[in-house]
Structure 1
Amino acid sequence: MNGRTPVLLAFMFFFISCGPEQSSPEAPQARLSATIEPGDIRTHIQFLASDSLRGRATGTAGEAIAANYIADAFNQFGIAPLGEDDTYFQPFTVTTDHLHNPPQGDTSRQRERPLLSRNVVGIINGSEEPDSYMIIGAHYDHLGTGGYGSLANRRRNQIHNGADDNASGTAGILELAQYFSVNSPRKSLVFVAFSGEEIGLLGSQHFVDQLPVPAEQVEAMINLDMIGRLQDNKLLIFGTGSAERWEQLIAEANTDSLQIETSADGTGASDHTSFYNKQIPVLHYFTGTHGDYHRPTDDAGQINYDGQDKVLEHVRRVIQQLDKPGSELTFTEVPASEQQKGISMKGVTLGVTPDYGFDGTGMRITGVNAGGPAGRAGLRSGDVIIKLDGQPLKDIYEYMEILGGLEEGETGTVTVQRGEEELTLDIRF
């Protein structure tokens, strides 16, 4: 089709979504390159995580600006649209039940009707096996100006730019898309930016329910979420139990001496879960949590751009290995003993940053909001929560399950391991 048509539709969609009160900031032009470059990663993240997008909350004008930016980049790379009506967009609605963090403005009026959101989807058709598909995805939404899900003071109206969570992953799919648009793959590559992740994996669930390609021909899904804060070369990759060959492929692709830790678990608090539940082999790339997680301080200046380049080079090599003849994966179900439950963002929050890479008993925290329940109770970074409200907990998933049954204003106790000492503290949730 005419390459300009998706862009025109994108701008029409933008003006419908944003209205006259907010105009689009000037976006940098995407640069077509045969390589993945830290400078290009920086360009994408600085735009997506700028204050002008006001945190990209689902259903907001800032989200629409981000969606158009991604679609325009796909178009400039020559990537074909795979959304509805020959566009890059796959729209879905967000109900008031999902809307914990309403957009700026007249929230009473906006809560009276569902809001429109959209995934952004493009495809590079394979040169030799076009009916075999790999999906590379990342969510591009974040928390807007705070509210539910924020680990900052909820009463303050602060922009949460989400540079690592997840402008980093979005920049990752853009860089991989431009790379493979120049270095043509044998199999087809689908690139998708999801919205609605922060309020319940809504975009990825809608995508798998309305897959634009046959599900039985999808060989793998690779999810990029919070890949911008590589420290000490440590990279976490989840989902290796969803196919027998993942561990081998990951090891073979590690030519940058990354310190890779893997987890068999195919589910968790990100969009790969939606694909695992459809029996598609998945990987989830993650560079770890930090003190800026779900806070206004998650800004572009905190990103390790050279480190993210290393992460993306590893993803690129894994994709190229899967692109070879005879490299198909077979889905395997992770045993119940190794499979964890997805995180549900319901109930109260303690105002802590979990250490997602912790593999001991309990949940270790790496940051504490001084004004939140945990901060007021005296919890500290490095504490391992081993009991909550009198209930022992094995891991972060049991922690979230217990939180889901509590109400704001309740009182109880939290027991932590602090070095060699076990402490039980009173807490008001």
Structure 2
Amino acid sequence: MKILYIIPLAVMLSCCSSVKNQSGTAQNLDNQLLKDVQVLSSDAYQGRKNGTKGAEMARAYIIDRFIKLGLKSYPANVNYAQEFTFKSKGVNLNGTNVVGYIPGKSNNVIVISAHYDHLGVVKDVIFNGADDNASGVAGLLKIAAYFSKNKPNNTIIFAAFDAEEVGLQGAKAFVSNPPVPINTISVNLNMDMISHSDKAELYVCGTFKYPELKKYVVNNNPKIKVLLGHDDPKSGHEDWTNQSDQGAFNSKNIPFLYFGVEDHKDYHQSTDKYETITQSFFNDAANAILEVAKNIDRQTGLQLSLKNKTIMKN
């Protein structure tokens, strides 16, 4: 794993510290956030397709970041790895989630997730998957960095899922065999495609089915629009409820918030590269999601009622 982690030094050092945002003014950016995306979406990782050397390299990178951030590994997982098997097109395949946690002051659990796999190499062309979903993994690592320095009230699990692109397989494996009793999981915050928006629009899906979560979605940054939606099947908009890993949690009636952007010209294309993400928007989006996570964590009594599908406070 350590050998696979080695990548060109130039990739690691070439991140920018500032760019102009969409209004044309200079903006300081989170260098580590950008570095994580740049590394994971570099050609060296070959698109991170499930079961490939590139996916193994991605896991090694994420594990190294977990170790440096001081995240703990559950005893059942070897070096943060939750291995699983699944069937695709009649073939048994293997996958590996990367799961770490920061203990809180209570046994209530928040799961923060993002999938690290992408499409790999298609007809000798690398599909790098910068927005989909190196960006979500980078957002996850940013939130983990905050809570590693600021002890959370709730125990927070950070899960980088494998095999999302072939049917949410990593998330399904996680909820089928969670490292904690499933009734202690209060909420899932999932990120998938949070770095590419020319309109500076970040959508939050989940408050239609779980309206109690709406009060935690607060944004005071005028440079970004944090919009609720894409979860009411009667709205006329595409329903994202089960479109990414939060769908596995929703199937267990675990409340969720899913953060993502609408499809863009680079979605599932070879042009989804580090160079095509919207850096200023990404910086603002990651900060906005962190604020939501902080708002939810302030509620020390969050509990999930599987029967009533509601969140209640003790």
Match for 2:244: what amino acid? S
Q: Report the Cα distance in structure 1 between the residues aligned to 2:100 and 2:153, rounded to whole angstroms.
A: 16
Mapped contact 2:88–2:166 kept (Cα < 8 A): no
Do structure 1's residue 67 and structure 2's residue 78 form an aligned pair? no
Q: How large is the RMSD of aligned CA atoms in angstroms?
A: 2.4
Higher RCO (C-alpha under 8 Å, 6+ residues apart): 2
Task: Using the TM superposition, give the Cα deviation of residue 306 of structure 1 relative to its aligned residue in structure 2, in angstroms.
Answer: 2.2
What SS does the corresponding residue of 2:160 show, helix, strand or coil?
strand
Name the CA shift for 1:96/1:86 in 2 (closer, same or farther; >3 Å): closer
Do structure 1's residue 176 and structure 2's residue 168 form an aligned pair? no
Who is 1:294 aligned against?
A: 268
Q: Report the Cα distance in structure 2 between the residues aligned to 1:323 and 1:76, rounded to whole angstroms.
A: 23
What SS does the corresponding residue of 1:145 show, helix, strand or coil?
strand
Picking from 87, 92, 112, the partner of 1:136 is 112
Name the CA shift for 1:98/1:226 in 2 (closer, same or farther; >3 Å): farther
Task: Using the TM superposition, give the Cα deviation of residue 249 of structure 1 relative to its aligned residue in structure 2, in angstroms.
Answer: 1.5
Task: Using the TM superposition, give the Cα deviation of residue 293 of structure 1 relative to its aligned residue in structure 2, in angstroms.
Answer: 0.7
Who is 2:297 aligned against?
A: 323
Who is 1:346 aligned against?
A: none
Task: Using the TM superposition, give the Cα deviation of residue 94 of structure 1 relative to its aligned residue in structure 2, in angstroms.
Answer: 4.3
Indicate the percent of aligned positions where both proteins have the same amino acid. Answer: 33
- Segments of 5+ residues of structure 1 without an aligned counterpart are 1-9, 16-22, 30-35, 100-113, 147-155, 335-429
Who is 1:190 aligned against?
A: 157
Q: Report the Cα distance in structure 1 between the residues aligned to 2:64 and 2:276, rounded to whole angstroms.
A: 26
Picking from 102, 120, 126, the partner of 1:159 is 126
What SS does the corresponding residue of 1:134 show, helix, strand or coil?
strand
Mapped contact 2:113–2:190 kept (Cα < 8 A): yes
Do structure 1's residue 262 and structure 2's residue 262 form an aligned pair? no
Task: Please report the TM-score for the alignment, with normalisation by the length of structure 2.
Answer: 0.83
Task: Using the TM superposition, give the Cα deviation of residue 24 of structure 1 relative to its aligned residue in structure 2, in angstroms.
Answer: 4.8
Do structure 1's residue 225 and structure 2's residue 192 form an aligned pair? yes
Mapped contact 1:58–1:141 kept (Cα < 8 A): yes
Q: Report the Cα distance in structure 1 between the residues aligned to 2:75 and 2:195, rounded to whole angstroms.
A: 28
Match for 2:130: what amino acid? A
- Segments of 5+ residues of structure 2 without an aligned counterpart are 14-27, 233-239
Task: Using the TM superposition, give the Cα deviation of residue 307 of structure 1 relative to its aligned residue in structure 2, in angstroms.
Answer: 1.3
Mapped contact 2:204–2:258 kept (Cα < 8 A): yes
Mapped contact 1:91–1:119 kept (Cα < 8 A): yes
Point out the more displaced range, 312-321 or 51-60.
312-321
Picking from 94, 119, 122, the partner of 2:100 is 122
Q: Report the Cα distance in structure 2 between the residues aligned to 1:200 and 1:54, rounded to whole angstroms.
A: 20
What whole-Å deviation, never above 9, does each CA across 1:148-192 have from its counterpart, x for those lacking one?
A: xxxxxxxx3211000000000011111111111012211111000
Match for 1:256: what amino acid? N
Who is 2:82 aligned against?
A: 90
Name the CA shift for 1:98/1:123 in 2 (closer, same or farther; >3 Å): farther
Match for 1:71: what amino acid? I
Do structure 1's residue 307 and structure 2's residue 294 form an aligned pair? no
